[in-house]
Every structure is written in C-alpha cells, then in structure tokens.
Amino acid sequence: MPEQRPHPTPVTLVAPTTRRHAEWLEMVREFAADGEEHVDGGAFFGLSVEDLAVPEAFDAWVRGALAHERGEDVPPAWVASTLRWVEQDGRLVGTIHLRHELNDILREQGGHIGYGVRPSARRRGVATAALAAMRRLAAERGMGRLLVTCDDDNAGSIGTIEANGGVLEDVRGGLRRYWVPVVDPAR
C-alpha cells in the first residue's frame, strides 16, 4: 500500500513587504543552515542574504522587486518579474518567482518560474501548491504556457512540475525542461 501523506494546509502567495523582514531572514537563513548556497526563486538580484540582513538594503530590495513587477527599473538583460513569498498557516515557508517573459538565458535555464521551500517545510506539498497558485497568477497576467526547469536528479521538483501538468520537452546539460499550462483564473 502506498504511503499516505497528510493533506497539506493550503498556501497563500504574498507580496514581499518590509514588515516581515525578520521572518524572511529566518526563512532564508534556514536554507544556508541546511548547506544550500542559493535560494531558488529568491530573486536576490545579485545581493547576498547578509546584504539583505541590513534593513535599508532589504527595504530597497523589496521596493525594487515590486517595481520589477510593474515593469519599472528592470536592469538591462533582465525581464520584468513577480516575486511572491509562500505562506502556510501564517508562516513564511518558501519563495516563488515568475518571470513575465523569456530571454535567451531563461529559455535555456531558469524558465518562467523558480521556487524554493525552506527545508523544514519540504515534502508536504508546499511547492506543488505554490506552483499551482503561481500558474493562476500567470493566467491572470495573460501568459500562456510556462517553461519550468529543474535539475535532472531533483526528484522533488520533478514530482512538483509533473503534478502541475508539466510535459517534459527535453533534458539539456543536466536540466529538465518542462512546459506547464497556466491555470484558468476562474478555477
């Protein structure tokens, strides 16, 4: 008989805010404590976690992320994007980043969406639910199918993407490239 997982509490995608700086910092430091040097979907825009520990830098980063969502102040060679934090039961458990279009680099690696779930919240359906929610947001923006990539050996992300209707296009340089449909926002 297959292992039964408890049904996860639904997740909510929330816009970045300076009011949750301490909680955000605790979340991203959990990734580092688990040996991860990078937070997928974190959209740090070249800054380190320690840079963003400084309240003024964090405030500027949040303002910049919100401007990028409106298509403002997007650096050359970057694309407009939407950053959301993943909340479950009032706690920040992850981050997810939607790029509004693909450039040459994103077409090969990165795709439209990147996401990360803090180690203490993994294997409970958080990433699957967050990706479904971001697909709805992409539909509301009028986007079509979405390119989502993951490492070829990342069983968790493979399951997340396939559970969201991902169809494998190919594997390039150790990266699996999937096309995922957007979700009708009326659903």
**Would you kindly state where each structural domain of the chain is located, as residue ranges?**
12-144
Please enumerate in sequence order all residues whose Cβ is within 8 A of that of 161, keeping only pairs 6 or more positions apart, or say none: 131, 148, 150, 176, 178, 180
**Amino acid 184: pLDDT:** 59
pLDDT at 183 over 90: no
- The structure tokens listed for 29 are 């430091």
By the 8 A CB rule, do 155 and 167 touch? no
Cα separation, 59 vs 1, in Å, equals 50
Q: Which helix (H) or strand (E) holds 179?
A: strand 175-180
Mean of the pLDDT values across residues 130-148? 96
Specify the fold of 12-144.
Aminopeptidase (3.40.630)
By the 8 A CB rule, do 175 and 156 touch? no
Instruction: With H, G, I as helix, E, B as strand and everything else as coil, classify residue 63.
Output: helix
Mean of the pLDDT values across residues 17-22? 97
Chain Cα centroid distance, residue 77: 20
Q: Is the dihedral of CA 88, 89, 93, 99 positive or negative?
A: positive
Cα separation, 47 vs 111, in Å, equals 21
For the ranges 34-38, 106-110, 119-123, 141-145, the lowest mean pLDDT is seen at 34-38
| Backbone phi, psi, residue 43, to 5° | 50, 50
- The structure tokens listed for 151 are 């490492």
Give residue 1's pLDDT band: very low, low, confident or very high (50, 70, 90): very low
The answer to whether the pTM exceeds 0.85 is yes
Mean of the pLDDT values across residues 56-60? 95
pLDDT tens readout for residues 95-111: 999 999 999 999 988 99
